[in-house]
Chains A and B, each alone.
Chain A
């Protein structure tokens, strides 16, 4: 009977520790690397649900291996990412997963197309009127 009691106690201890690890983590308890990676979320961190906190913490595991450019992208996108609904994030993962299976050549074509569109958007001023081509600017007035 004593053996059974010990086993029950150990089992309960294990379950308790497993559930404790899933509890929310206050911002102050994060490691310096985690705080650096998630710095753009420092204000709203404590209000995030524990599952989202846990997932975001898991994403920071690779953070030290990112290039400076990747770190910048990570910071820039993190807030927008955290504001998405779980369904939107799920859809985005599915899209990304599907896109990663497209042949590299076609993937590169899509990326170039996106870059081209982005460059066009950046050139367009807030008024929405595209700037005149450089050759036209130098042309004499008629």
Chain B
């Protein structure tokens, strides 16, 4: 049967400190290096997380009034261009249909009330 009592946290910490003091300098250096590497990796992970929440895209947002004005003008231009394009496409379709009616072998009266 296992008659050992579980170690208290303080006792465990003391044991670890004593054990660490007994380690040779090479082992201590290797452990420290491993700790540094682990901390560095943790920092990198945190950085990626920050980017994914949108903080990395901050530069895309306008910062000044001029930039806001420029963005607004750009949006108006895109909107105007879009409306013009749709209007032209509609007019092109109508003209195509009109030309077909005007040259069809059925007389105009068939389609006009």
| Residues on A facing B (Cβ under 8 Å) | 1, 3-4, 7-8, 11, 14-15, 18, 54-56, 58-59, 61-63, 66, 70-71, 73-74, 77-78, 80-81, 84, 88-89, 91-93, 95-97, 99, 110-111, 114, 118
Tell me whether B95 and A58 are in contact (CB under 8 A).
yes
Q: Which residues of A contact B77 (CB under 8 A)?
A: 11, 14
**Can you identify 15 A-B contacts, CB atoms within 8 angstroms?**
A11-B76, A11-B80, A56-B98, A58-B91, A58-B95, A61-B95, A61-B99, A62-B99, A73-B105, A84-B112, A91-B112, A96-B111, A99-B111, A110-B106, A114-B110
A86 to chain B, nearest CB (A): 11
Q: Which residues of B contact A62 (CB under 8 A)?
A: 96, 99
> Does any Cβ of A come within 8 Å of B34's Cβ?
no
Tell me whether B80 and A15 are in contact (CB under 8 A).
yes
B96 to chain A, nearest CB (A): 8
Number of B residues with CB within 8 Å of any CB on chain A: 30
Given A4-B70, A88-B112, A114-B98 contact (CB < 8 Å): no
Given A58-B95, A96-B111, A118-B107, A7-B102 contact (CB < 8 Å): no
Interface of B is mostly: helix
Report the separation of the CA atoms of residues A63 and B95 in the bound assembly, to the nearest whole angstrom.
12
Tell me whether A114 and B112 are in contact (CB under 8 A).
no
Complex interface residues of chain B between 91 and 105 (CB less than 8 A to chain A): 91-92, 94-105
Given A4-B73, A58-B92, A66-B103 contact (CB < 8 Å): yes
Tell me whether B69 and A92 are in contact (CB under 8 A).
no
Report the separation of the CA atoms of residues A71 and B100 in the bound assembly, to the nearest whole angstrom.
11
List 8 additional A-B contacts (Cβ < 8 Å) besides A58-B92, A59-B98, A62-B96.
Answer: A1-B66, A4-B66, A11-B76, A63-B99, A71-B103, A73-B103, A93-B101, A99-B111
Return the chain B residue nearest A107 by Cβ: B106
- Contact for B97 among A54, A73, A97, A111, CB less than 8 A: A97
> Does any Cβ of A come within 8 Å of B74's Cβ?
yes
Tell me whether A92 and B73 are in contact (CB under 8 A).
no
Report the separation of the CA atoms of residues A55 and B90 in the bound assembly, to the nearest whole angstrom.
11
Tell me whether B66 and A96 are in contact (CB under 8 A).
no
A114 to chain B, nearest CB (A): 6
Q: Which residues of B contact A92 (CB under 8 A)?
A: 101, 108, 111-112
